[in-house]
Amino acid sequence: MNLNQVIETTAEQTAFQSVASRLERIRTEMSSANNDADAAKMQQLIDKTRAGEVNIAFCGHFSAGKSTMINTLLGKALLPSNPIPTSANVVKIRGGEPAARVYTRNSGVLTFDPNTEMDALKKYAVDGDTVEWVEIAYPGTFLNEQASLLDTPGIDSTDAAHKIATESALHLADAVIYMMDYNHVQAEENFAFTKMLKDRGKPVYLVINMIDKHLDFELDFDSYKESVEDAFATWNIHPDGIYYTSLAEPDHPENQFEAFADKLKQLIAEPAALILQSVTDSAAHLTWDHQRFIRQGQSEQRDRLEAGLDVELDGVDARDRDQVVRALQAAEDKLADATGQVNAAREQFDKELTALLDNARLTYYTTNEAAERYLESRKPGFKVGLLFAGKKTEEEKAAREAALLADFRDKVETNLAFHFKELLTRIPQVYGIRDDAYHETVHALSIPITPEFLAAQIKGGAETREYVLNYCQDISKAIKSEYRRKGLELFEQVSRKLEERVQAEVNSLHTTVEALRAVAETHAALAALEQAERETGDRLRAILTKGE
């Protein structure tokens, strides 16, 4: 072995070890999840990778001639063929020292001498009931100890054990030879099976066998080959190679048996890249199987959760997560609005009442003049005239008081009382409340401005122009304060009515929100299950592809 070969071999061994290490981490996680079946399959891939073993699986219908083709390729009748039915389980043939083992379902491993006991061995090869698989090692063929051909049961078998055997072979196969009888190439089952293989990333080589059945006068052979390629392309199937063969007529001009045999030898001679790719693809397939295993393990929990979706919701499909989430958000928003509606109404009323009182002007120049004259008449020593001074003085005081009262009453009625009643009348209408008694109270409302009220606002101090203005402002503030007190008092009647209506709405919304929230939480729990399943698969695939 030269230096380049040593380097190349070392690099391959490093790559195999790296992949095997990743597979071991995945297998450990599968075992930890009690997924023994997929863990066992992963162990097979680990063993295969560490051994650097290349496996080529032969698949097809029972009548396609798989076993005869393998016997012909090997130059030795190691497999049962016509008139005996073909293999009913996987038969693995590899190179190396002569050996034969039959792995049975209940009796352990049986050993045979391939030189003297082949007839007995072949009987086991067609026994799909008690035998799991057969392994034959035989020297003198193009196979070596690390290369094997896998003969699988016919894909048209209805036996579940046969299908499992074929799946097992495909799991370990680095390349698949799919054989078809010349007359049954365009059977739908062929297209479906080969598409499945390609979708799983397997290199697939099609072998159209028994081309000696072709009648050239019906269709020239080139046209026949074109029709085959077109048929598979229609299914979006692009095989890695197509070979047309005849074992009955080796000299058939279109026979590509030798080219097919050379392709097999080439695959075996340069197996590293093929093995690494197929192992990675098979392992990826197992990660999806494991993800489904996790899902299956959560099926009871999922069923219980999904049973919680069998509820009636007003105008909402309980099984539609998006609908439920939107409806819950809308109901919660309505509940929040309803819960705060009374406070919001009170704040709005207070805001409008404050604005109304702030903007209501109750003192003008005439008011100030009347106030100045009124205050003057209330000063000690105020006197009018000489004759009958006492009577005239009292009459003047009363006149000045009446003038100020009239001025304020006019300004209050014009600039405040009318707008105040309009506001109090409008507020219930805003919230759809009808209360005739309330409206009567509002319209009958009268806040009197009395002489005592004017007198109560007088404060000691010098009679200056500023004092007069302050006195008028004090009267204005006192009047507005009384209107505020009365307005808030009346609004409480509206507030109580609004609270009664809101409480009924809140109770209904609480019921709706609780029902929607329970369904939304069920959807969230289901989503969490799906996320956990997805994250499990993604984590295993990250280990496989990135070593993470």
Q: Over 460-480, what HEC string results?
A: CCCCCHHHHHHHHHHHHHHHH
C-alpha separations of 78 from 153, 262, 453 in Å: 16, 20, 126
pLDDT at position 416:
93
Within 13 A of 416's CA, how many CA atoms are on the CB side? Answer: 26
pLDDT at position 462:
57
Q: How many CB atoms lie under 10 A from the CB of residue 449?
A: 20
Residue ranges per structural domain of the chain: 53-270, 322-530
**Nearest 5°: phi and psi at 410?**
-65, -45
pLDDT at position 7:
43
Which residues fall within 8 angstroms of residue 381, CB to CB, at 6 or more apart?
A: none
Residue 140: left (phi > 0), alpha (psi -120 to 50), or beta? left
Residue 526 structure tokens: 């289901």
Q: Tens place of pLDDT for every residue, the chain, 548 residues?
A: 433 444 456 778 888 999 999 999 999 999 999 999 999 999 999 999 999 999 999 998 877 888 889 999 999 887 776 444 445 678 889 998 888 888 887 778 888 887 777 777 767 666 656 777 788 998 989 999 999 999 888 776 655 556 666 777 788 899 999 999 988 888 888 899 899 999 888 999 999 999 999 887 778 899 999 999 999 999 999 999 999 999 999 999 999 999 999 999 999 998 999 999 999 999 999 999 999 999 999 999 999 998 988 988 888 998 999 998 999 899 888 888 887 888 888 899 899 999 999 999 999 999 999 999 999 888 888 888 666 667 888 888 999 999 999 999 999 999 999 999 999 999 888 888 888 889 999 998 988 999 999 999 988 765 688 889 999 999 999 999 999 999 999 999 888 888 888 888 888 888 888 998 999 999 999 999 999 999 999 999 999 998 87
d(CA 230, CA 333): 60
pLDDT at position 60:
87
Which residues fall within 8 angstroms of residue 57, CB to CB, at 6 or more apart?
A: 149, 150, 152, 169, 170, 172, 173, 175, 176, 177
- Strand 109-112 and strand 99-104: pairing? antiparallel
List the CATH code of the domain at 53-270.
3.40.50.300
Residue 517 structure tokens: 């929230």
**Nearest 5°: phi and psi at 102?**
-115, 120
Exposure b/e, 53-62, CB count within 10 A at least 16 = b = bbbbbbbbbb
d(CA 319, CA 306): 8
Cα dihedral 139→145→146→147 (10° resolution): 10
Residue type, 445: L
Nearest to 208 by CA among 233, 172, 232: 232
Nearest to 531 by CA among 277, 346, 326, 298: 298
